[in-house]
């Protein structure tokens, strides 16, 4: 059995993992999803929070050996957490996630891609300290293969995202970079181009890279298959540990 800590991406919350948690539990694992500051049920002012705050929130939940799973922007959050404290982190799993490169903020990483499907959807707040995603023209970028009722649930729960968190580069060290890492590429992703996911995954060991034929939101479109993939990663992690 492994313990998973599930970390959401931009504008989402712990709520997006609602279907994956029971699927992982059915496979014998412990699964916990948490809200980053200013997301979901957390009352913090989103315009005052930082990427370090996201990392610190994760570290607060690392009281036992844990596999961190970061979705989308969550790739930055789990890496920031690992730089604050690698204690009890067994592996970092990047689920169609931005992976930090040296001296690159998430915003800068996004602009490395040949396609920019998210840029037309970004709506800055009046202060420019936060932004939202405009889904009035449709939700294809995020949820095109998800059940209709689930899409309604998701859109109703989307929240503003911190501009500062997106504009912060992580000072990468061996503390985070030496940890075991996996990348799950979502091949039908309309938010982070799959071709760019492959560019980011090229820095991972090939045996730690796999595909899911999913949109940007496999936690909704295929929670059981995602849980099965995470189970495979957990078993690999245990094998490497000699357990």
Residue by residue, pLDDT tens for the chain (243 residues) are 899 999 999 999 999 999 999 999 999 999 999 999 999 999 999 999 999 999 999 999 999 999 999 999 999 999 999 999 999 999 999 999 999 999 999 999 999 999 999 999 999 999 999 999 999 999 999 999 999 999 999 999 999 999 999 999 999 999 999 999 999 999 999 999 999 999 999 999 999 999 999 999 999 999 999 999 999 999 999 765 544
Rounded CA separation 138/48 (Å): 29
Helix (H) or strand (E) holding 182: strand 181-186
pLDDT of residue 149: 97
Rounded CA separation 140/129 (Å): 26
Tens of pLDDT, residue by residue over 54-99, are: 999 999 999 999 999 999 999 999 999 999 999 999 999 999 999 9
For residue 192, what is the domain's CATH number? 3.40.50.1820
pLDDT of residue 239: 63
Exposed / middle / buried, residue 7 (Cβ in 10 Å: 0-12, 13-18, 19+)? buried
Rounded CA separation 118/110 (Å): 9
| Paired tokens of 174 | 């061996």
Query: Containing domain of residue 82, as a range?
Result: 3-241
Query: Number of folded domains in the chain?
Result: 1
Given the structure tokens 């789990």, which residue do they identify? 78
Rounded CA separation 20/93 (Å): 15
């Amino acid at each position: 059995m492994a313990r998973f800590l599930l970390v959401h991406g931009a504008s989402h919350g712990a709520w997006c993992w609602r279907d994956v948690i029971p699927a992982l539990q059915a496979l014998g694992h412990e699964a916990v999803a948490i809200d980053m500051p200013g997301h979901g049920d957390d009352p913090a002012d989103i315009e005052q929070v930082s990427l370090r705050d996201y990392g610190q929130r994760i570290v607060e939940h690392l009281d036992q050996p844990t596999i961190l799973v970061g979705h989308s922007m969550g790739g930055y959050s789990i890496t920031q957490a690992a730089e604050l404290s690698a204690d009890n982190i067994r592996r970092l799993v990047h689920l169609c996630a931005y992976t930090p490169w040296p001296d690159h903020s998430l915003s800068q990483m996004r602009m490395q891609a040949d396609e920019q499907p998210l840029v037309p959807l970004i709506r800055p707040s009046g202060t420019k300290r936060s932004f939202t995603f405009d889904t009035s023209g449709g939700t294809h970028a995020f949820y095109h293969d998800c059940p209709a009722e689930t899409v309604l649930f998701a859109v109703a729960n989307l929240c503003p995202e911190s501009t500062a968190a997106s504009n912060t580069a992580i000072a990468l060290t061996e503390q985070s970079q030496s940890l075991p890492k996996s990348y799950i590429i979502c091949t039908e992703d309309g938010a982070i181009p799959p071709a760019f996911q492959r560019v980011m995954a090229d820095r991972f060991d090939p045996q730690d890279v796999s595909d899911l034929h999913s949109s940007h939101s496999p936690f909704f479109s295929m929670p059981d298959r995602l849980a099965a993939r995470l189970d495979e990663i957990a078993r690999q992690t245990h094998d490497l540990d000699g357990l």
